[in-house]
Amino acid sequence: MLKVYNYIKDHRCQSVSIFKAFTTLLVGLLSLSVHFFGETPQSLLLLLATFASAFTTIVWQLLFGKGKFNKIVATLFLGLDNILLAVVLLPLTYTSALYPLLFLTNIVGARFLLSRRLGLRLTQLALGLFSIAIVGYSFAGLVQNGFYYFTLTFFPTVILNVIISFSLTVIGRLQNKQKTLENEKRQIDRTFNNIKRELFLNSQLVSSLNNDVKRKNIEIKNILNLSGQLNINSDSKKAIESFLYTVIGQLGCKYALILTQNQKENKYLSTFSSKGLKESDLNKVRIYLDSNLLNTLNATREPILEKNIPKDDLYSDEIKILKFFNNDLFCPIVIKGELKGILIVGSKLTGARFSEEDVNLIAIIANQAAFVMEQNLVTSEFQDIYFKTIKAMMKSLEAKYVFARGHNTRTANYVNIIANKIGLSQTEIKELTYGTLLHDVGKIAIRDKYLLDTNVFADEDSILKNKILEHTVKGASILKSAGFDDSVVNLALHHHEDYNGKGFPHGLGESDLPFNVRILSVCNTYDAMTSDRPHRKALSGLTAREYLEYNSNKKFDPQVVKAFLNELSINKEMQKFH
């Protein structure tokens, strides 16, 4: 029925023409039946009524049948048929069985061809005219048994009109549902096309992102492995060579070398270890201890490009050396506050400039070389040195994320205090502290546009938030590949889990969530809230404390929250962190 109704609505002009032709045929049949079988002698009037119906049908088809549908004109044409039927044909044909059929046909046509309101009004007008006409003709003596024929026509028409109204209501709802489904389909099609387009773009980004993640993963692994070598390699020469291999392989440089005072009686720095340069060239490299070049490097105490080194006060032999290392990077090696060597890194084979990450990596390598050269790797100071190396590494990784600077160190201090307060062992506290310093290492694999976008947390886009939260999984992968203990790996993986089991990534909660993770979760949240972020300024300590209290036993372990807030209220050292 819906398809038929939709076809009528889509082809209204043609539908009116077909309907009027059909009613003309019925008028003609009605006239013939009355003429041959009835008692009415006005054959001429019946013939004229047939011609009148045919004439209006032809006029409609010629003037309006092929144009744009005009419901007012259509109403007038269909209304003329009802007037013809109720006023002219009634006294001539009311005894014929075709008369009620013709009346009902006109009602059906008006309801389906016109709008619901106009169709109902025209039906009411036809019934009114019919009622007035049959009463008038009955008093005039032109209609016999008027009540009988009124009942025979009027009540079936009313019942049919009710059925049609119900049908049109059902059809209207079906149409609305169909339109809704069509709109949803169009929306789904648009969404599908957008997803398809984004998938195509993302498929191109995935390869680049994977390569970037792999490169940074390898970089972190290499840095951590370098720290590990301080424990296992007593041969400083081999350790230095491994550092140089790391620099060349990681940055794609032409060569790398370290200059130091090889013997105490020497008054100059010469090559201690090198990779990528000829021995004959290295024999010519000497930088005297009292040279202006060393004074400049000692003053900077940080990596500096050859082109940025002032050359006004340099001697000819110093300028000659700088020309030999044209466009290279010089990194001072400082041991116990004194300049003891230089790490020189050759320019990249690709010709690209050194990035900030590259410079940070070179600085770390220089520090590692300083530790090796100091030959105190197995003393009681080693753990402290290793701890400082980890912090230096994390600061280098966070260098480009301004809003995260100091976050890991402050959080580690909070963790250390609370873990001692709760009563963890010294071994557990040390592992928890190391893990806290490294818990955000996965952010190195997250694109800057997600970490630094000021609008990421302004809306409720869960996809963007999950991209940032993926640093937990990536960090765990990096630490696991570097050989860290499971306790450290789990801190990186689960520090965004919630105590109620609704966190990221695995939804662990309560006893399933390691206790050291619950400590880190509270300390990490407090420091994050009281620190500046790309999307907001730092919140007050009061606001952060209220947030922890509100989410106690929800996001956070109530025991840890209680211990943290109690200690925060009395510990002046914790209060000074911000």
Which residue spans of the chain are classified as CATH 3.30.450.40?
A: 233-383
What's the whole-model pTM score?
Answer: 0.38
First to last CA, the chain: 74
Segment 108-126, tens digit of pLDDT? 777 777 877 887 888 888 8
CATH of domain 398-578: 1.10.3210.10
CA angle in degrees (0–180, nearest 5) for 41-39-100:
105
CB 368 within 8 A of CB 341: no
Mean pLDDT, residues 133-150 taken together: 79
At residue 229, the pLDDT reads: 42
Helix (H) or strand (E) holding 73: helix 71-83
CB 115 within 8 A of CB 103: no
DSSP string computed for 290-341: T-HHHHHHHHH-S-EEGGGS--TT--HHHHHHHHHTTT-EEEEEEETTEEEE
Q: Which two tokens stand for residue 237?
A: 């020469």
CATH of domain 233-383: 3.30.450.40
Question: 340 falls in which pLDDT band (50, 70, 90)?
Answer: confident
Which residue spans of the chain are classified as CATH 1.10.3210.10?
A: 398-578
- What's the DSSP call for residue 346? P
Range with top average pLDDT, 229-243, 420-434, 470-484 = 420-434
At residue 511, the pLDDT reads: 87
Q: Which two tokens stand for residue 245?
A: 């291999």
Cβ atoms < 10 Å from Cβ of 273: 20
Segment 14-52, tens digit of pLDDT? 777 777 777 878 777 777 777 665 555 566 677 777 777
Question: 379 falls in which pLDDT band (50, 70, 90)?
Answer: very low
